[in-house]
Amino acid sequence: MFGLGLPEVGIIAIVALVIFGPKKIPEMGSALGKTLRGFKQEMNKPTSEQDDQQDS
């Protein structure tokens, strides 16, 4: 994971907690999850160009 060890991840988590607060972090995680889920769905959706190639 980018060469980060447990101490570095812990420090990053503590800094994020101090900056954003305990109430905002779950909201940000939820928004990130929805964004990634939508991106993945769009990447898996066939485009019209792909449909044209499959019909030939």
Per-residue confidence (pLDDT) for residue 46, from 0 to 100: 77
Instruction: Give me the pLDDT at residue 53, please.
Output: 63
pLDDT average per 10 residues of sequence, the chain (56 residues) = 84 92 91 94 79 58
Query: According to DSSP H, which parts of the chain are helical?
Result: 6-20, 24-44, 48-55
Give every CB contact of residue 28 below 8 A, 6+ residues apart in sequence: 20
Q: Which residue type does 52 have?
A: D
* Residue 19: per-residue pLDDT: 93
CA gap 34, 40 in Å, rounded: 10
